[in-house]
Amino acid sequence: MNVIKKIDIYLLRNFLGLFFATFFIAIFILLMQFMWMHVNDLVGKGIELSVLAEFFIYAVASVVPLALPLAILLSSLIAFGNLAEKVELTAMKASGISLFRIMRPLTLAVALLSIGAFFFSNNVLPKSQMKLWALIFSLRQKTPELDIPVGEFYDEISGYNIYVREKRNGDLINLMIYDYSGGFENAAVMVADTGRLSASADKRYLILNLINGESFENLDKKQQRATGTTKNIPYRRETFTQKQLLIDFSTEFNRYDESILEDQHVSKNMEQLLETIDSLQQVSAEKSREQSDKMIADRYFGRETTKDTVILPTELTQEQRSAYDLDTLWASMTLQNKKYILSLAYDKARTNKDQVDYNGIVLEDTDRTIRRHEIELHRKFTLAFACLIFFFIGAPLGAIIRKGGLGAPVVISVIMFIIYYIIDNMGFKMAREALWPCWEGMWLSSFVLLPIGIFLTYKAATDSPLFYPDAWKIKYKRWKEKIRTYANKHNRRSAT
């Protein structure tokens, strides 16, 4: 018993060490990919280190659902590959310890990780997603740092175009400024020998100090707008030795209101998702019922007539309805009455069509929101289940291939994870577009990979030479011999 406990501790120590190492490697790789996707939101914005660190923390939380299954797959494959390569796994089996008993402590550890993954995706991930996207929206709205290039027009300042020929010790030399803040028709032009930019104390304005220059500006702007031409319109020319411009250019970092994102599906836990799905389904059912009742309640008859219109009773009994012959009634109408009836019918049909189209848009939008919430609900469970499946793929696969280290296990893990990612993404898109039910789309990858895990576990438990070329050659020779024997028997029977 003590020997088994020591083996359990030994296996756990090896597995957990590999798991944490591969988990941080996977986090780093996926984080770099995430950062590359949002590089335009970060570069050139003058972001403070505290904001950048906050972005990294939320980004790490967002890539955990992908990094965790990959780390479990890779670590279990390397751990059992090392055991098999060092003949330790064979020694354990020779001592009477089955593969399932060897896997038991690691299975319990992965089960705890799966439970932790569920609680993470249910409690931590929604809040981190809400804060991450609020931060991304804030970064996208932040004005970029001011970096006026040399030899080309700079138009990042709203209402201004600035051209600089040279920069020297922070000064702008030989610059030209087009001021469009009053509209393109009222543009003012300024040229100066030297200029220097600085920010105001509250960081809401840019202060541009110009030295030794001239400015040109139209005086009669109303006449220019009325005539659409600049002919015979007076302008003002100003020569200055020093001039200061105050330009509206806020460089402050204003945070996006997180409360706006609280109603999004990615920001809700399981209880909130179920509550939202239930309420939206009630709304959808109510809208459908209202539309059906309205279509049934709409009557094409029941209009009172005057001298120029047709009169039909608003409420008819069955006997009264049977007394009406529509063809006879239509034939007895005057041309004016027929036109009036057709006009009423056309207006009624058009109104009903518009109402049906509007209700269809409302119902479609509601159904789309329901699908998104259902997808997010299933995702919380599929993440935990994927961790277990990848363990039962990686552990037996490592025992079968008998290769440890970072060579073959990494290649196999990447291939398996790519297959999982493609299948999972395909199921997600099928569910999102309502081509499949949400549970089928989100559990598709689990349905595909679970039989693979069961098959590999069975093959590893029975010591099947699944990846040995020599074993496949022997099987091929046996199959070839059986086919030859069968063909010879068939030929002898044909000859007789």
Q: Do 369 and 320 share a domain, yes or no?
A: yes
**Is residue 256 one of the residues assigned to a domain?**
no
Q: Do 61 and 125 share a domain, yes or no?
A: yes
**Is residue 306 one of the residues assigned to a domain?**
yes
Q: Do 188 and 106 share a domain, yes or no?
A: no
Range(s) of the domain holding residue 385? 2-142+377-465
Instruction: Please identify, among 375, 404, 431, the residue that sits at the C-terminal boundary of a domain.
Output: 375
Q: Which of 16-20, 64-68, 260-264, 489-493 has the lowest mean pLDDT?
A: 489-493
- Torsion angle of alpha carbons 474, 480, 481, 487, nearest 10°? 170
pLDDT digit string, tens, across residues 366-392? 888 899 999 999 999 998 999 999 999
For residue 314, the model assigns a pLDDT of: 43
Q: Do 384 and 365 share a domain, yes or no?
A: no
* Percent of the chain topping pLDDT 70: 78
Q: Do 18 and 103 share a domain, yes or no?
A: yes
pLDDT digit string, tens, across residues 10-30? 999 999 999 999 999 999 999
The size of the chain, in residues, is 496
For residue 362, the model assigns a pLDDT of: 63
Q: Do 94 and 108 share a domain, yes or no?
A: yes
Q: Do 279 and 299 share a domain, yes or no?
A: yes
**Is residue 471 one of the residues assigned to a domain?**
yes
pLDDT digit string, tens, across residues 282-340? 887 877 776 666 655 554 444 444 434 444 444 445 555 555 566 677 777 778 887 88
**Strand 188-199 to 153-154 pairing:** unpaired
**Is residue 148 one of the residues assigned to a domain?**
no
Instruction: Please identify, among 195, 213, 248, the residue that sits at the C-terminal boundary of a domain.
Output: 248
**Is residue 389 one of the residues assigned to a domain?**
yes
Q: Do 217 and 87 share a domain, yes or no?
A: no
**Is residue 318 one of the residues assigned to a domain?**
yes
Supply the mean pLDDT for the chain: 80
Question: Who has greater pLDDT, 413 or 311?
Answer: 413
Q: Which of 73-87, 117-131, 133-147 has the lowest mean pLDDT?
A: 133-147
Q: Do 6 and 133 share a domain, yes or no?
A: yes
| Contact yes or no for 146/159 (Cβ under 8 A) | no
- Does position 87 have pLDDT exceeding 90, yes or no? no
**Is residue 265 one of the residues assigned to a domain?**
no
Question: Who has greater pLDDT, 198 or 106?
Answer: 106
For the segment 105-112, the average pLDDT, to the nearest whole number, is: 94
**Is residue 253 one of the residues assigned to a domain?**
no
Question: Who has greater pLDDT, 307 or 424?
Answer: 424
Q: Do 394 and 484 share a domain, yes or no?
A: no
pLDDT digit string, tens, across residues 133-168? 888 888 876 655 566 788 888 887 777 888 999 888
Structural domain count of the chain: 4
- pTM, 2 dp: 0.68
Q: Which of 109-123, 299-313, 397-411 has the lowest mean pLDDT?
A: 299-313
